[in-house]
Amino acid sequence: MEPEWIQSIVEEVVRQLGRKEAVQKPNQVPLAVSARHVHLSEQHLAILFGQSYTLKKKSDLSQPNQFAAEETVILSGPKGTIERVRVLGPSRHLTQVEVSQTDAFKLGLTPPIRQSGDIKGSSPITIIGPKGSVYLNEGLIIAQAHIHMAPDDARRFGVEDGQYVQVRAETERPITFERVRIRVSPSYRLEMHIDTDEANSGFIRTGQTGEIISAGQTQSTCHSPVLIEEKQTIIPLFEGKLLSQHEVKQLDGPVIRVGKTTIVTPLAKDTARELGKKIEVIDE
Ligand SMILES: [Zn+2]
């Protein structure tokens, strides 16, 4: 067997094992780091690489039917250029360029953070290929961190398409991603995509996992008063082993939450009743 063959088989096995382990633990999602890349429309592909040009597949990406092409382009902005930027296939309806904030500084451009496909009003960018160049009025974005998942995964996590969640990565430099968008489609495979800046800030490499630690709000209810109200009524759990009359008098608020294992003295119960406070026992 050719060494490259063995290498790729080993990598695939490791990848599958990692995936299995990730789905066995509840709320775990495999992390993948997206480097800067370009999606091209048929029209722009023809301008950059020549009429009737077909992209050559270099390697498959984790999402079904998506691939990294052999072809690369040069990105150019007012302050600088970035060479050898990977083209991803297949062609799309609209050309879109995804970079990190660090890349944007180098180019001298200010792309917005957007979900893939949402390029209206985004940053202009010049793309240079071997046969020509294209100036786009819009199309340069910084990708919003997101998790691809199938409907089954969404049910398991109790989340829906378009919702934002928090994801914690326990690495050497632990990090929590606050606004991670859920993207659900039957054609998706479970994976969270972050850019190189996000990965670097948390010492993350592709293949590691993160944990969904809380489900946020959907975009449509971003400023919903219901959610704000919910936040205000969160009451901390009393963590002592014994809840006595003394604690009942001291603790603020109409509700005292205790764990199942905390002993509540009869006098504490009487005092709570007298003061109009409710003692709530929580399953920890
Ligand atoms: Zn993605």
What would the mean pLDDT of 12-28 be, rounded to a whole number?
63
Strands 96-98 and 37-41 come out as: antiparallel
Q: What's the CA-to-centroid distance between 274 and ligand 1, angstroms?
A: 57
Per-residue pLDDT reduced to its tens digit, 130-145: 999 999 999 999 999 9
CA-CA distances (angstroms) from residue 69 to 37, 46, 72, 79, 192? 10, 15, 8, 27, 21
Q: What's the CA-to-centroid distance between 119 and ligand 1, angstroms?
A: 15
Q: What's the CA-to-centroid distance between 269 and ligand 1, angstroms?
A: 53
Across all residues in the chain, what is the average pLDDT?
87
What would the mean pLDDT of 172-200 be, rounded to a whole number?
96
Is residue 204 left, alpha or beta, with left meaning phi > 0 and alpha meaning psi from -120 to 50?
beta
Q: What's the CA-to-centroid distance between 132 and ligand 1, angstroms?
A: 28
Per-residue pLDDT reduced to its tens digit, 25-68: 679 999 999 999 999 999 999 999 999 999 999 999 989 999 99
Give the model's pLDDT for residue 31. Answer: 97
Per-residue pLDDT reduced to its tens digit, 142-178: 999 999 999 999 999 999 999 999 999 999 999 999 9
Q: What's the CA-to-centroid distance between 168 and ligand 1, angstroms?
A: 18
pLDDT of residue 202 exceeding 90: yes
Q: What's the CA-to-centroid distance between 34 and ligand 1, angstroms?
A: 8
pLDDT of residue 274 exceeding 90: no
Q: What's the CA-to-centroid distance between 280 and ligand 1, angstroms?
A: 43
Q: What's the CA-to-centroid distance between 249 and ligand 1, angstroms?
A: 53
Contact 163, 146 (CB under 8 A): no
Q: What's the CA-to-centroid distance between 146 and ligand 1, angstroms?
A: 6
Q: How far, in Å, CA of 31 to CA of 244, rounded?
A: 47
Q: What's the CA-to-centroid distance between 83 and ligand 1, angstroms?
A: 22
Q: What's the CA-to-centroid distance between 84 and ligand 1, angstroms?
A: 20
Give the model's pLDDT for residue 231. Answer: 35
Contact 123, 111 (CB under 8 A): yes
Q: With bands split at pLDDT 50, 70 and 90, how would you rate the model's confidence at 226?
A: very low
Q: Which residue has the higher pLDDT, 87 or 27?
A: 87
What would the mean pLDDT of 4-30 be, rounded to a whole number?
67
Least confident of 7-11, 59-63, 76-80, 155-159: 7-11
What would the mean pLDDT of 231-244 be, rounded to a whole number?
68
The structural domains of the chain, with segments of one domain joined by +, span: 35-143, 235-282
At 284, the amino acid letter reads E
Q: What is the DSSP string of 91-103?
A: EESS-EEE--HHH
At 202, the amino acid letter reads G
What would the mean pLDDT of 94-111 be, rounded to a whole number?
98
Q: What's the CA-to-centroid distance between 147 and ligand 1, angstroms?
A: 7
Q: With bands split at pLDDT 50, 70 and 90, how would you rate the model's confidence at 221?
A: very low
What is the share, in percent, of the chain residues with pLDDT greater than 70? Answer: 84
